Structures are given as structure tokens and as C-alpha cells.
Amino acid sequence: MLKIENLNAGYGDVQVLWDVNMEINEGEVVALVGSNGAGKTTLLYTISGLIKPKSGSIKFLGQEIAGLPSEDIVNLGISQVPQGRRLFAGMTVKENIMMGAYHRNDKEKIKEDFDFVLELFPRMKERLNQAAGSLSGGEQQMCAVARGLMAAPKLLMIDELSLGLAPLVVETIYEAIERVIARGATVLIVEQDVLLALEQANRAYVLDVGKVILSGSSQELMDNPMIKEVYMGI
């Protein structure tokens, strides 16, 4: 579904990603892990079109998308739940969630999807008219995931879902995402919590200082002594 080849990207003269290769098949859940500053968010931004790559290829469903404007990439079916949630604090929960569907005009399907995300996150249903800025951290993350789903993405990318949240809330949100996955969604999860990421994913890539240093099935990585020592502290 997504195939990244020899991708180089960064900010101005500062190169962050070095010759990144990565592949995501339809229906897969893939994790991207690595320490602070490894370049995980930069890679998601490059896929979303928010950063133009210096070189390399990003193919989505066979089409080259490297360098396309981000609106085009959303329209093709890639949606990102950004690190730090980035909600519009002064707008209501409903307005924030509906923002995910701004580029769509299939009214009936939008309504169906809206009902589905409210069923996934009943807490959002109770708070539709509340300002998003007044939600708890966990609720804000639910709102951000709900917004991401309203884009009806073929590929959903989630950046640091668990950051700053209590384990129970994280579990609730991942349970909701599992239901989305069960419906056939393809998901790229970025997490600093490597164990959590590997538990969710079929396969994973380890990014270190902008380079993919390791990839494999989640089980292979969980059994890898270097991963255990460096990323899981075991």
C-alpha cells in the first residue's frame, strides 16, 4: 500500500532522514519506534506532504506522492493523528471531529462515520458541545483519533498516542483502534513506548538518528537482545 524508497528529508539544510526504506501492506499494523529526535514525526510529516523530501520515492497505492501538496495526500486516503493532538481548543468537540471530514462531500457516509466514531468513543458523545480545550488529556486524544477517522482514511498514521496518558486511557483508545483495524484499516503507529507499539503491531521499524537500523515482525523485535536492552530496559 505504501512503499518508501531511499527517502531523504529534513528542515532547510538540516537533514533528518537518511535513505529510509519502508513498506506497509494493506491491512497491516506497522509500528515505527525510536528515541526522542530519531525522526519519527519528520517521517510522518514527509508522508503527509507537510515536508517536501530532498530525494527518494513515496508510493501510495502505486502512485508517487512524494512532494504532493498535503491536501492531495489527504484526498488520496492518508490521515494523520498528530503528536500533541493539535485540536482547536476554542472549538467544540463536534466541530473538531467534523474537521476531519472537511474535504469530503459524501454526506450520508460522513454521517455513518460520525455515528461510528461516537460509538467507538462514547465519552465524545457526551461532550459534543464542550470546548475541546477543556477536555482531559485522554479525552483530547480520543477527539484527535476521532477526527483522524472522520477522514475515512485508507492509511491512518498515529503519532505518540500514549504520550502523557495513564495506561488505562491508552488501553481504552487502543481497544477502539483495534475495532477500526478489525474493519480492515491499515495503521502506522509511532510510539516511544516500544513494548506497547510491538504489542499493537504486526511488524515494526526501528529508527535511530534518521536511519532505519532494524525491521521485522513484532515478535522478532521483542526477542531481539539489542531492542530489549536499549529500548525496553530489560
Ligand X SMILES: Nc1ncnc2c1ncn2[C@@H]1O[C@H](COP(=O)(O)OP(=O)(O)OP(=O)(O)O)[C@@H](O)[C@H]1O
Q: Which residues of the shown chain bind ligand X in the complex (CB under 6 A)?
A: 11, 14, 16, 34, 36-42, 83, 192
Coil, helix or strand at residue 111:
helix
State CA 199 to chain mean position distance.
16
Shortest CB 101 distance to ligand X, Å: 27
Q: At what angle do helices 107-120 and 167-182 cross, to 10 degrees?
A: 140
Shortest CB 231 distance to ligand X, Å: 12
- The single residue listed with the C-alpha cell 531492542 is 227
Residues within window 187-216 making contact with Mg ion, judged by CB under 5 A: none
**Closer residue to ligand X, CB minimum distance, 39 or 148:** 39
Shortest CB 3 distance to Mg ion, Å: 22
Size of interface with Mg ion, in residues (CB under 5 A): 3
Q: Please give the Cα distance from 146 to 213 (Å, whole number).
A: 32
Q: Please give the Cα distance from 116 to 199 (Å, whole number).
A: 25
Q: How far is CA 226 from CA 20, 53, 206, 229, in A?
A: 20, 30, 11, 5
**Closer residue to ligand X, CB minimum distance, 121 or 205:** 205
Q: How far is CA 198 from CA 83, 105, 120, in A?
A: 19, 36, 23
CB 188 within 8 A of CB 30: yes
Stretch touching Mg ion by CB under 5 A, among 40-48, 56-64, 102-110, 196-204:
40-48
- 69 is in the binding site of which of ligand X, Mg ion, none (Cβ under 5 to 8 A by kind)? none
**Closer residue to ligand X, CB minimum distance, 117 or 145:** 145
Shortest CB 42 distance to Mg ion, Å: 8
Shortest CB 203 distance to ligand X, Å: 18
Q: Which of 1, 16, 41, 203 binds Mg ion (CB under 5 A)?
A: 41
- Number of neighbouring beta carbons within 10 Å of residue 140: 21
